[in-house]
């Protein structure tokens, strides 16, 4: 079974049971976050929820671990900058 | 809170936890089985929800897994639930807290497992650099390859199934770079022969690598990654006995992914939250001290598997069975005790053949990241010792912020402790150093509402 979720305005295909992070890697997307200090690109590193490198914004909730969240066709996934809470800046 | 407590709550549904739950159920106990994953198996038998037929060839000992799953049919499952704290005592009962609920039990078996141990190298934070376990998780749990041309490196027998799995699914594995010399196993035949299945398993992976023409290099390591937005190549180099780079031996290997692991780090935050006694194991990891019945220093708390010493799945299953049996106060069969002893000897040999030598520290530049979360460099960790006077890992962490970010030192804790010990002139990393980078009062991110005690709150983390 194949489906897709939206990521930064485009479709990312996934199969049943894959995580958001795995689907992004399979689609050739290597990074979807920049770090707070140096703005370095980050994607999956540990793949099992330990390292928090793969943080991503899903349905407007930032800092979700892409390697743990099951892919869902109803999700809107967005890459995130820094702490993912730029919209709260004053 | 559950109205009546379970006899036994088992945290972790990997090899050790499954075996513990099955043994406790066989002893007539009411058992809760709690795991962050959505299905049983842990990291070792990781698979997608449903059948694991599609990845059966990537797994080992599936007969044992299916028997254990059948054996835990009578447990109440709390799957997909991340445990953020455990508390209590044998006298008052124990509470296991997840983001969704609270499980009460008279005794606890903790089987939290382990994750890849990492040492930093130049530009190891580039996308496309994965832990060996991460590459394996994407493959076994998602059927996704981390890259088309992959370099595998680090130390330990785990590198072999990772490389073999990638090759079996069509990746070009450019090489396996094992920092130690596997010939060292020849000195440990007495430890290996009683567990002959280990030999068969190892020979199977070696044959698979040969079939896929994967070159295996010993005494060589991935010492730097290169690329702009993602990894494009690595530097590999020959190492001397202390793991310093042999001058002139550096080679560039092009790749689009790297999988690295240097043994494993047991997940100790839950046992530590209960105050169990610990020790430093032969591999340099902080582990829980247990007796021959898997009892910890805290009455009513049993620990099984990698958390009491990294040793692999068969050992974890044996320890889990002992812990589950002991938790229901049943006698532990002598054959189980013998099996654990033989597998522990094998684990000791594995640690002797695959140590992590201090020389990795000489690969780092002052600007090499140690803490990926807070972006703290090796130079900054050393400055915490040299300029600011830190003499232990916890102080170095507080002064440099290494280990104070999202992952709470899970990834860089070992490296920070080693760098601190070296910079301050200590011969070895102490249990106190490792404990200082392993305690996490809140084991996983939870909402403030949940922390405040409102179990119904589902707000942001």
CA distance B234 to B175: 11
CA distance B90 to B85: 16
Q: Could you read off the pLDDT tens digit of each residue along chain A, which spans 90 residues?
A: 579 999 999 999 999 999 999 999 999 999 999 999 999 999 999 999 999 999 999 999 999 999 999 999 999 999 998 777 776 654
Q: What is the DSSP string of B370-398?
A: EETTTTEEHHHHHHHHHTT---SHHHHHH
Cα of B217 vs its chain's centroid, Å? 24
Q: What's the average model confidence in pLDDT over B124-145?
A: 97
Q: Which residue has the higher pLDDT, B349 or B447?
A: B349
Question: Which candidate in B132, B144, B230, B374 is best for mutational testing of the A interface (most A CBs within 10 A)?
Answer: B144
pTM for the full predicted model: 0.95
Under a CB-based contact definition with an 8 Å cutoff, are residues B310 and B354 in contact?
Answer: no
CA distance B16 to B306: 8
Q: Which residue has the higher pLDDT, B167 or B451?
A: B167
Interchain pair B375, A38: CB under 8 A = yes
Is the CATH code 3.90.550.10 the one for domain A2-82?
Answer: no
List strand residue ranges (DSSP E) for B210-282, in order: 216-218, 220-226, 233-238, 251-254, 257-262, 264-266, 278-280
Determine the pLDDT at residue B451. Answer: 81
CA nearest to B324, candidates B146, B46, B71, B79: B71
The helix-helix angle for B378-386 and B413-423 (nearest 10°) equals 40
CA distance B276 to B264: 20
When CB atoms are compared, the residue of B127, B143, B407 closest to A41 is B127
CA distance B115 to A23: 22
Interchain pair A31, B129: CB under 8 A = no
Q: What is the DSSP letter of B284?
A: S
Question: Which candidate in A1, A50, A68, A79 is best for mutational testing of the B interface (most B CBs within 10 A)?
Answer: A50
The HSE-up count of residue A76 (CA atoms within 13 Å, CB side) is 5
Under a CB-based contact definition with an 8 Å cutoff, are residues A81 and A88 in contact?
Answer: no
Q: Residue B380: which residues within 8 A CB-CB, separation 6 or more?
A: B370, B400, B402
Determine the pLDDT at residue A1. Answer: 58
Please tell me the class of the B6-113+265-332 domain: alpha beta
Among B72-76, B300-304, B440-444, the minimum mean pLDDT is found in B440-444
Interchain pair A30, B230: CB under 8 A = yes
Work out how many CB contacts closer than 8 A connect A with B.
107
Give B351: exposed, middle or buried? Use CB within 10 Å, 0-12, 13-18, 19+.
buried
Q: What is the DSSP string of B431-455?
A: HHHHHHTT--SS-S---HHHHTT-T
Task: Report chain A residues whose CB lies below 8 A from the CB of B405.
Answer: 52
- The pLDDT tens digits for B356-368 are 999 999 999 999 9
Domain boundaries, chain B: 6-113+265-332, 118-262, 364-436
- Helix, strand, coil percentages, rounded to 5, for chain B: 35, 25, 40
Q: Residue B218: which residues within 8 A CB-CB, separation 6 or more?
A: B178, B180, B181, B182, B183
Q: Which residue has the higher pLDDT, B193 or B108?
A: B108
Q: What's the average model confidence in pLDDT over B66-87?
A: 96
In terms of CATH architecture, what is B118-262? 3-Layer(bba) Sandwich (3.50)
pLDDT at B461 over 50: no
Domain boundaries, chain A: 2-82
- The pLDDT tens digits for B18-54 are 999 999 999 999 999 999 999 999 999 999 887 677 8
* Residues of chain B with a CB closer than 8 angstroms to some CB in chain A: 36, 38, 43, 48-50, 115-116, 125-131, 133-138, 141-146, 229-230, 372-375, 405-407, 410-411, 445, 460-461
What is the percentage of chain B residues whose pLDDT exceeds 70? 97
List strand residue ranges (DSSP E) for B91-232, in order: 93-98, 102-110, 114-116, 129-131, 149-155, 172-178, 216-218, 220-226
Determine the pLDDT at residue B458. Answer: 47
Cα distance from N-terminal residue to C-terminal residue, chain A = 45
pLDDT at B457 over 60: no
Q: In CATH, what number does B364-436 get?
A: 1.10.10.1100
Tell me whether the CATH fold assigned to B6-113+265-332 matches the one assigned to B118-262: yes
């Amino acid at each position: 079974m194949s489906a897709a979720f939206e990521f930064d305005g485009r479709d990312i295909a996934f199969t049943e049971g894959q995580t958001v992070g795995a689907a992004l890697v399979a689609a050739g997307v290597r990074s979807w976050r920049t770090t707070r200090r140096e703005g370095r690109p980050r994607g999956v590193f540990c793949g099992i929820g330990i390292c928090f490198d793969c943080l991503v914004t899903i349905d407007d909730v930032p800092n979700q671990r892409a390697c743990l969240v099951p892919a869902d066709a109803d999700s809107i996934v967005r890459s995130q900058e820094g702490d993912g809470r730029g919209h709260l800046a004053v | 809170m559950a109205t009546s407590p379970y006899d036994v709550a088992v945290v972790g549904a990997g090899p050790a936890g499954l075996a513990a739950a099955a043994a406790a159920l066989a002893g007539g106990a009411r058992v809760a089985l709690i795991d962050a994953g959505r299905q049983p198996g842990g990291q070792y038998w990781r698979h997608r929800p449903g059948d694991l037929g599609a990845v059966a060839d990537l797994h080992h000992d599936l007969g044992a897994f299916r028997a254990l799953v059948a054996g835990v049919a009578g447990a109440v499952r709390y799957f997909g639930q991340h445990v953020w704290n455990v508390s209590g005592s044998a006298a008052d009962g124990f509470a296991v807290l997840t983001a969704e609920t609270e499980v009460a039990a008279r005794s606890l078996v903790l089987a939290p497992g382990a994750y890849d141990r990492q040492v930093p190298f130049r530009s190891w934070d580039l996308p496309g650099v994965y832990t060996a376990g991460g590459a394996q998780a994407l493959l076994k749990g998602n059927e996704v390859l981390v890259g088309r041309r992959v370099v595998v490196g680090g130390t330990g027998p785990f590198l072999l199934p990772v490389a073999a799995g990638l090759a079996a699914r069509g990746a070009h594995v450019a090489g396996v770079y094992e920092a130690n010399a596997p010939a060292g196993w020849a000195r440990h035949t007495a430890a290996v022969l009683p567990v002959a299945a280990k030999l068969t398993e190892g020979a199977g992976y070696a044959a698979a690598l040969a079939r896929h023409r994967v070159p295996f290099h010993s005494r060589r390591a991935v010492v730097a990654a290169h690329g702009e937005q993602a990894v494009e190549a690595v530097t590999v180099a020959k190492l001397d006995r202390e793991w310093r780079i042999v001058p002139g031996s550096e080679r560039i290997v092009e790749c689009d992914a790297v999988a690295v692991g240097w043994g494993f780090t047991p997940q100790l935050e839950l046992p530590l939250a209960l105050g169990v006694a610990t020790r430093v194991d032969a591999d340099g990891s902080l582990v829980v001290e247990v007796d021959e019945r898997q009892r910890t220093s805290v009455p009513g708390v049993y620990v099984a598997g990698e958390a009491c010493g990294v040793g692999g799945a068969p050992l974890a299953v044996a320890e889990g069975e002992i812990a589950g049996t002991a938790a229901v106060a049943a006698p532990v069969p002598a054959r189980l005790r013998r099996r654990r002893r033989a597998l522990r000897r094998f684990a000791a040999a594995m640690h002797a053949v695959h140590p992590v030598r201090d020389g990795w520290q000489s690969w780092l530049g002052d600007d090499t990241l140690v803490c990926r979360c807070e972006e703290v460099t090796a130079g900054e960790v050393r400055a915490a010792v040299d300029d600011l006077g830190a003499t232990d890992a916890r102080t170095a962490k507080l002064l440099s912020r290494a280990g104070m970010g999202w992952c709470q030192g899970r990834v860089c804790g070992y490296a920070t402790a080693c760098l601190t010990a070296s910079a301050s002139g200590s011969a070895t990393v102490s249990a106190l150093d490792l404990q200082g980078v392993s305690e996490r009062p809140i084991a996983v991110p939870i909402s403030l509402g949940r922390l405040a005690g409102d179990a119904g709150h589902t707000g942001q983390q």
